[in-house]
Structure 1
Amino acid sequence: MAAPKQKPRIEVVDLSETLEVIFNGATVARSARAKVLFEGTLPPRYYVPAGDVRLELLRPTATKTHCPWKGEANYFSIQVGDKLAEDAVWSYRTPIPEMARIAGLLCFYPERVDKLHLV
């Protein structure tokens, strides 16, 4: 029987720079209020308040995943013109209590957008 996974160290920090997300020539998100989440050996993930995202470019999908350390995530695709990035964005609407700082924020897969950078 496999040993249970040990909880990774998770830290959520306010980002001091502005984060910008570009897809198919459009600025999908620009935020001076983003947070960066560090989780064990995983790459840092940037979480953006919905008010700093062009929500009209997001399409909800049926995809859901569960993380034992954060809770259930819901996914969105990004549609700009005729280009679609499937399941490129996720959000923990109601994460576990320890992760309340990321509740409702949106996180983008860097590899599914054209550019995710700090400005």
Structure 2
Amino acid sequence: MSDHIKIRPAEGKWTVRAGAAVMGETTRALEVIEGENPPVIYFPRDDVAMAFLDDSDTVTTCPYKGEARHFSIQTRSKLIEDAAWSYEAPVEDLAAIKGFLAFYADKATVART
């Protein structure tokens, strides 16, 4: 695995909320630490209400992780564009995050509960 990125199980139960809705809860989250950046919590898709997420046209590329697809969240009152991302085919050393979802802190609230 890259020395720049560390992946480890995130201890405890984690919840992601968007608007007033709970989008997901898990005890199987991963904590991804990239360089000096704050850790990012990644949720398994099975633990997220995928029915509220819509594919976005946005695709970004990270030189360390690969290509990320983005998702928008449809709440009762609005669409939160590009609120989450997922690596469908990450670089080989980071295969543990394949298919997991992470959420932008300014668009959803991720907390240990």
Which TM-score bucket, shorter chain as reference?
Answer: over 0.9
Give the equivalent residue in structure 2 for 1:117: 111
Give the equivalent residue in structure 1 for 2:9: 14
Residues of 1 paired with 2:94 and 2:62: CA distance? 11
In the TM superposition, 1:1-119 aligns within 5 A as: 9-113=4-108, 115-119=109-113
Which contiguous aligned blocks of 4+ residues in structure 1 show a shift greater than 6 angstroms?
none
TM-score for both structures, normalised by structure 2? 0.94
Percent of residue pairs identical: 37
- Structure 1 residue 111, shift from structure 2 partner: 1.3
TM-score for both structures, normalised by structure 1? 0.90
- Structure 1 residue 95, shift from structure 2 partner: 0.4
CA contact (8 A) 2:41 2:110 kept: no
Q: Give the match's secondary structure for 1:111.
A: coil
Rg larger in structure: 1
Residues of 1 paired with 2:71 and 2:40: CA distance? 16
